[in-house]
Amino acid sequence: RLLRQQTSVPIAMGELFNTQHEYVPLIKERLIDFIRIHISQIGGLSPARKVAALSEYFGVRTAWHGPGDASPIAHAAQLALELASYNFGVHEGSSFPAETQEVFVGCPEVKNGYMLAREKPGLGIEVDEKVAAKFPVVDAPPNFDYSWGTTRRRDGTVIRP
């Protein structure tokens, strides 16, 4: 509240939130200007869309969290949410290396500052499994600290508070 009272700079928050409930007081009290949602962190498209709808009602815009380590599928999911949200604010994105584009056929494409939606069903991306096999996933070292920023256990199950 103090920060909101002291600045006119737009405030964005939420990329490390784990549930949709963490956003509610910030949105209802208009303490932020942009919701920063990491779709996989909050639990997928449905909870992300619910937060976007609540934000729209209170005049808070979206700024989906799309760092360089987010997959093309994640960016395509963000684009789908952006197209469905009247309160779209900004898309955080990055370019994809050639290897990634080779594996994820139909990577989101940016032209003249705009991300283009695919004309294919769903998110418009296909995974070429034969190409993906050329890039095996390397497991993290045994002493890797999984306690910060982890939303899934090593077995792949989602961590829910």
The structure's pTM equals 0.79
pLDDT of 102-128, one tens digit each?
999 998 888 898 888 888 889 999 999
Residue 150 has pLDDT above 60, yes or no: no
Q: Which fold has domain 2-95?
A: TIM Barrel (3.20.20)
Q: Which residues of 45-54 are buried (b: 16+ CB within 10 A; e: fewer)?
A: bebbbebbeb
pLDDT of residue 141: 63
Tokens of 50: 């619910």
Structure confidence at residue 156 as a pLDDT band (50, 70, 90): low
Whether the pLDDT of residue 160 is over 70: the answer is no
| pLDDT score of 10 more than 90 | yes
129-143 core/surface letters (b: 16 or more CB in 10 A; e: else): eeeeeeeeeeeeeee
pLDDT for the residue numbered 93: 81
The more confident residue out of 54 and 160 is 54
Q: pLDDT, tens digit, for every residue of 90-106?
A: 988 878 889 999 999 99
Could you read off the pLDDT of 44-66 as tens digits, one per residue?
Answer: 899 999 999 999 999 999 999 88
Residue 139 has pLDDT above 80, yes or no: no
Domain assignments of the chain as residue spans, ordered by start = 2-95
Average pLDDT, the chain: 87
